[in-house]
Amino acid sequence: MKRNAKVSTAVIRRLPRYYRHLCELQEAGVVRISSSALGKSMGLTASQIRQDLFCFGEFGQQGYGYKVDSLREEIGEILGINRGHTVVVLGTGNLGRAIIQNFKFSSNGFQLLAAFDVNPKVVGTTIAGVPVYHADQLEDFLARHTVSVGMLTVSISSAQGVCDRLVAAGVRGIWNFTNHELDIRQKDVVVESVHFSDSLLALSYMISQGEEDLPTEKEEKP
């Protein structure tokens, strides 16, 4: 199913939530669900859900609701779950190793092919069954394998250089965990940057606002 080019980023950001929630509903044995029930369980309105899904076509029937398995498959197709995407990891330090060992790439439609590093202690080994090659072998590997996404967990100083090598070799998706804003001029390259600090500071703001609403010691009454 081809995505409507006018679909907003906000809608796209909600699609993985729909997919994940529908997977959970299917595992729980739920066969059919209404937009109001789905919205209530996700903290969204029924109208929002109908508007989001309408961006991609007609889903469900009025008075009947959505078939959970069918809607999950449709959204999975929109997200490209079954398109055979592949990924390589650049950097196998603490973060890179943790993601390789714990993130379920296959459940999200990706095959993790390999990892790359310069540390002689890890080059030539495997992490959770994933082979680790020297970074100097990156171009040769990319020439022999179709890679959809390069995941960056290298140092900030190395991030741009490694990114440039990936893009030059034809990789069109960059999953960036480096906290460095990458400079990419190619319009057909997509960057998804994950800033842990942004998420934590947003949380800090929200709890700080809550604390400001609490009475101070001077405001408290005996």
Domains for the chain: give ranges and CATH numbers.
Answer: 9-78 (1.10.10.10), 85-198 (3.40.50.720)
Residue 190: partners with Cβ closer than 8 Å, 6 or more residues away: 172, 173, 174
pTM of the model: 0.82
Q: pLDDT digits over 61-83, tens only?
A: 666 789 999 999 999 999 988 89
Structure tokens at 194: 């994950």
Q: Which of 31-35, 113-117, 154-158 has the weakest average pLDDT? A: 31-35
Q: Above 70 in pLDDT, residue 132?
A: yes
Q: How confident is the model at residue 217 (pLDDT cuts 50, 70, 90)?
A: low
Higher pLDDT, 101 or 221: 101
Q: List the alpha helices (DSSP H) in the chain.
A: 9-27, 35-42, 46-54, 68-79, 94-102, 138-144, 156-168, 196-212
CA-closest candidate to residue 138, choices 113, 109, 102: 113
Whether the CB-CB separation of 1 and 74 falls below 8 Å is answered with yes
Longest alpha-carbon distance in the chain: 75
Average pLDDT, the chain: 89
3-class secondary-structure state, position 10: helix
pLDDT average, residue stretch 104-117: 95
Say whether 55 sits in a helix, a strand or coil.
Answer: coil
Distance (Å, rounded) from C-alpha 198 to C-alpha 54? 31
Judge whether residue 54 has pLDDT over 90: no
Q: What is the pLDDT of residue 221?
A: 47
> Above 90 in pLDDT, residue 215?
no
DSSP code of residue 59? -
**What are the tokens at 120?**
């002689």
Give Cα 111 distance to the centre of its chain: 14
Distance between CA atoms of residues 50 and 34, nearest Å: 10
Terminal Cα-to-Cα distance of the chain (whole angstroms): 65
Bridge partners of 192? 175
User: Given this model, what pLDDT does residue 65 score?
Assistant: 83
Determine the average pLDDT of the residues in 120-137: 97
Read off the pLDDT of residues 148-174 as tens digits, 9 standing for 90 and up: 999 999 999 999 999 999 999 999 999
Q: Which of 46, 45, 20 is CA-nearest to residue 35? A: 46
Residue 129 confidence (pLDDT) above 90: yes
